Structure 1
């Protein structure tokens, strides 16, 4: 019965199980004295390992019959343009609650609940885009609610930033990104690789994406191709694993940041964690994605176009993501980091999935109107802190260098620390030799 209903994509709840149990009891024992209580249902589920889970993902609503015709059409387009994997791109956007941490903890059986805190629902959207070889990751586009966040003013950030009142993608933002960011970066990359400056961008049919005839370069060499509706969960490369791994790695960095500042209150740490910290961490984890992993996400959609055999094990179905979407190593890192923050908590794989997918966290907050000075007043410094002196900074960097050398840091990482130390020494020298006023000698 269960399998027949699952085949038809019909949800099964406790009421259905109870009614079916009473039906079989009456049929077998010819009696009508079985009530199938809630207690019986709990024990029945425990005996047979039955869980009640949320139906998630889009795979069941996908139209599989549209996939093969599209793959044939894509193969023809690739052959017509004579494209290599380096010249084929996919872009997809996703939301990210950038201050959200898990809310799991153990309590005694006498406690009905645990003291909580307000869930941090600050959300941004980031656009992920790579080519099929995994060799070229386009600089991430981040979309926030505020036009000029105070924490980003006069700061160099490793992402492209834009804004909308809801922090979601819009047609105008996507068109601007395509013309001013995507095309120049693709042309530069192809020139460095010695390839023709011809490229194809694959997109889903989201309402925030302009029509194909608007997404084309001036010379007509870089064009766009839309996938059919309801096939994103089945074949879109960015939706297979790239985005999910990026989000999990980002959240591991957020937990690491909390642990590094564990002397302070958690609320205070999250309040100080601003948008600049978020986009820096996001860029860092995006750059850390391995080309091999990215290329693997393209195998399904390019199976008809190139001579690489598609292995069904390479696909990561959304319905099984709770157990398959991340490597054991990544899952263990997340559990270990969270254990340091909440020693009494037990974060399961299902909890990590729920946290990473932002399940049940629809942003119902109305869009924030942009203020007259276009600044984010919520980014005010929460308390006045004493500025660290140059000498203290040099001492701290020396400790960092010692740690880096003892733990086999790369030459690039050590070079960054030495450059910061050199800058601190120069600033200290400027203060030492600063011209004095004659009144300074009479103090």
Structure 2
């Protein structure tokens, strides 16, 4: 007779088996399905309270429920970890070690000396993993966000249609920045030139429905770059200052030009912008209602920051890499030089490639749309804007 093969189930798998047992499925049927003995299924049922406790605590991967020998320290450290992370404070392994020793001393256990391996087991027990901190969401004022969305935004929203609601934001492009990492043969030394810091600032604006993408406003350092000499017109609006930054003067000029154009078309819009110093409260606008997002909320409330700018840079990065490859094919010694005109053409092309549904989804992701009652668009995917190559051309 062939003996049953021993199998270890994860907490997640045990939780699923428990649910099926409680729904009336028999021990023998489950044992046969998973190729284990009846006693294995019976043991899972016997330990259901501990399994459910771990399952509800999101501890899903371990196959054995190992409790710490210092349970009071373990639980105190876990509660401290939860409270500290809820405040948005980064926590490292050494911080956990130090705090565990503090708790041990408070519990009258001076001989306890927290090791790195104890912390490793602690992280496994409680499904704690390492993650990279990104964005500015940890500094967001949650109460201001909620109050604005529930009190200010509904009043603004009802006055304008989806086609009349716009968001605008500027971003920097280090348009000559080459990859800072490379594939290489094993043992080969890596060397290269300095990373370029030449930048352009680009003002991006689009409406909520994604049907209108305003012509880009690009700010460079040179008033008349040499590469513009043979060009009759640019696909973008261009201005300059010494640092290629957005200023309050440039913002007001851009806004008033847009307002005059809307007056001619007899259109009125709502424009949402953040409250940075470069965005003054421009008065006497005839067709634009200017509304400012609350301080410390733009990383979650501003649609452009929810993926539109990232998608723009992803598209530009691909254009840049293709141009580099073409330059290498034409000139074996070095990649093609990128001019401001090249950058403008590639940025404009990247802007044209952003889809209507991407823009609409980003407005929805910012909380500015409650239902999909206007467009038959797909839900935003978790990796919606991760469709990038593996070259870290940070822009």
TM-score of Structure 1 vs Structure 2, range by shorter chain = 0.5 to 0.7
Distance 1:68 1:45, change over 3 A: closer
C-alpha contact (below 8 Å) 1:67/1:231 kept by paired residues: yes
The match for 1:137 is: 213
Q: Check 1:258–1:108 CA distance in 2 against 1; reply closer, same or farther (3 A cut).
A: closer
Q: Find the counterpart in structure 1 of residue 321 from structure 2.
A: 255
Deviations 1:317-360 (A, max 9, x none): xxxxxx73514xx23xx13xx5xxxxxxxxxxxxx5xx44x4xx
| CA–CA separation in structure 1 for the residues paired with 2:368 and 2:347 | 28
Q: Does 1:326 align with 2:385?
A: yes
- RMSD of equivalent CA atoms: 3.7
Cα shift at 1:104: 2.0
Would the aligned equivalents of 1:22 and 1:36 in 2 still touch at CA under 8 Å?
no
Aligned residue pairs, count: 309
Larger Rg: 1 or 2? 2
What residue number does 1:197 align with? 267
Please state if 1:178 is matched with 2:255.
yes
SS in 2 for 1:126: strand
From 210, 215, 234, the equivalent of 1:157 is: 234
Given the alignment, which residue of 237, 240, 244 partners 1:167? 244
Give the one of 198, 201, 207 matched to 1:122.
198
Q: Quote how far apart the aligned CAs of 1:14 are.
A: 4.3
Instruction: Please say if residues 262 and 287 of structure 2, whose CA atoms lie closer than 8 Å, have aligned partners that are also in contact.
Output: no
Paired position in structure 2 for 1:273: 338
Deviation digits for residues 68-88 of structure 1 (CA, Å, limit 9, x no counterpart): 332332322343xx4211111
**What is the distance in 2 between the residues matched to 1:101 and 1:325?**
24
Q: Distance in 2 between matches of 1:3 and 1:264?
A: 57
Identify which of 151, 160, 168 aligns with 1:91.
Answer: 168
Structure 2 alignment gaps of length 5 or more? 1-77
Alignment match, 1:369: none
For 1:23-422, list aligned pairs within 5 A.
36=115, 50-51=129-130, 53=132, 55-71=133-149, 72-79=151-158, 82-105=159-182, 114-155=190-231, 156-180=233-257, 182-186=258-262, 191=265, 197-213=267-283, 216=285, 220-263=286-329, 268-269=334-335, 272-299=337-364, 300-303=366-369, 308=373, 324=383, 326-327=385-386, 330-331=387-388, 334-335=389-390, 338=391, 352=392, 355-356=393-394, 358=395
The whole-number CA distance in structure 1 between the counterparts of 2:287 and 2:329 is 55
Cα deviation code 1:252-279 (max 9, x no counterpart): 1111111122236798325x21111000
Q: Which has the higher contact order (CA 8 A, sep 6+)?
A: 1
Q: Structure 1's 261 and 221: CA in aligned 2 closer, same or farther, altered over 3 A? A: closer
Please, what TM-score do these two structures have when normalized by structure 1? 0.60
